[in-house]
Amino acid sequence: MFFLNGILFGAWAARVPAFVETFALDHGALGRLLLCLALGAILSFPLAGRLSDRIGADRASRAIGVYYALCLPLIALAPTTGWLALALLLFGAGHGAMDVAMNGWAAEVERQVKRPIMSAFHAMWSLGAGIGALSGGGAVALGLGPLAHFGLVALVFGALTLGLAMVPWESQRSAAKGPGFALPSRSLMVVGFVAFCSSLGEGAMADWSAVFLTQIAQTDEASAALGYTVYSAAMFAARLTAGHAIARLGPVTTARIAGLFAFAGLVVALVGQTLATGLVGFGLLGLGYSVVIPLAFTRAANDRDTPQGRAIAGVATLGYGGMVLGPAVIGGIGHAFSLPVAFWLIALLALGITTFAASLRPDGGK
């Protein structure tokens, strides 16, 4: 499920420049369209949390995965910017809802094995996102348009991953009632902010890394797709081994180091403004952002006072809300000032991860 979510999102991210060219979008127009994706995700978070608590995170993950895969080709079918906005709203809803459900399922597995393996599940998301981005470069080289590209990715990988996900599992369920819209509880609010600092940068990488390399580093579209691929590959490698670091250093120290890595990566990319420095910087960003979201969701899923689905949805409202709101914010700032100025804002938020890392300490932990 993590792989499927990643490859669908990565395929979209790699083809953003094609939509910019087709619809003649400036930074502001692209930012407004991406805001529709953000809105869809934010609206889906509380609904997905309730669904996961009611029917189980495993069943919710599979059902939402089908919907999400079907939404990807719809983006390429949009004939106007208005229809594109609607398609992105639906796609964002699938992305956000699936994030909540599959993280709840992963938290249940982590509790059962009694080891910090949440980052390994997120590694599969990174692998999928990297392959999705790489498929974009391959599709451009082969002359495939977004519709053919998106249709193949959704059909082939959707069928494969959903088939593999049909494993026996009994998720926990909760009939607890509460408000429909799930902001984090007070104890999780700072956790959500740390997740926001990371996920806003992640969203920028997904939707603006290729644009950064084409417009700032002056590379072609095929080469620009390498930016998100390198970023995702670095994140994947770090997440595979992060469990050892978390077990040895603890979640707080690990998150503090991660924030410094992310800040350094943005500095390298912004100062160099070449393809080479961009790839190095994006690689450092991947290392830095790799552990933050997994740590935030582990903390939320094990909160003492809130049902799992609702807790994850609450943190996701700020956390992954940043991932989908971030591109729209970057677009607005880039339009008003410049794209580098917008990326410097992400660098400052990366330092916020280091500053507030103590909030990721488990309940009652040291």
Q: What is the CATH number of the domain that holds 12?
A: 1.20.1250.20
What is the rounded distance in angstroms from the CA atom of residue 78 to the CA atom of residue 81? 7
Amino acid (1-letter code) at residue 25: L
What does the block give as tokens for 269?
Answer: 């990319």
Residue 175 covered by a domain: no
State phi, psi for 301 to the nearest 5 degrees: -65, -25
Region of residue 319 (left: phi > 0; alpha: psi -120 to 50; beta: else): alpha
Please report, to the nearest 10 degrees, the dihedral formed by the alpha carbons of residues 284, 291, 133, 127 taken in order.
120
Q: 153-164: per-residue pLDDT in tens?
A: 999 999 999 988
Does pTM top 0.85 for this prediction? no
The pair of three-digit structure tokens given for residue 61, joined into one six-digit string: 């993950």
Residue 288 has pLDDT above 90, yes or no: yes
Whether 290 contacts 242, CB under 8 Å: yes
Asked whether residue 324 is assigned to any structural domain, the reply reads yes
Sign of the Cα torsion 301, 202, 198, 283 reads positive
The single-letter DSSP state of residue 359 is G
Note the pLDDT tens digit of each residue in 69-93: 999 999 999 999 999 999 999 999 9
Question: What is the predicted pLDDT for the residue at 364?
Answer: 41
Q: How many domains does the chain have?
A: 1
Tell me, yes or no, whether 365 lies in a domain.
no
What is the pLDDT, as a whole number, of residue 363? Answer: 62
Contact 329, 31 (CB under 8 A): yes
In a domain, 174, yes or no: no
Pair 117, 243: CB distance under 8 Å: yes
Residue range 294-311, pLDDT digits in tens: 999 889 888 777 777 788
Nearest CA to 66 out of 104, 99, 101, 94 is that of 94
pLDDT tens readout for residues 211-235: 888 888 878 777 887 888 888 889 8
pLDDT for residue 366: 40
pLDDT in tens, 2-47: 999 999 998 998 888 889 989 998 878 887 888 888 889 888 988 8
pLDDT of residue 266: 93
Query: pLDDT band at residue 183, thresholds of 50, 70 and 90?
Result: low
Q: Is residue 47 part of a domain?
A: yes
Round to whole Å and give the CA distance between 228 and 163. 27
Is residue 92 one of the residues assigned to a domain?
yes
Looking at residue 92, its pLDDT comes to 92
pLDDT for res 177: 56
Least confident of 213-217, 271-275, 350-354: 213-217
CA 178 to chain centre: 27
Q: What is the average per-residue pLDDT within 313-329?
A: 75
Domain extent for 304 = 2-167+181-360
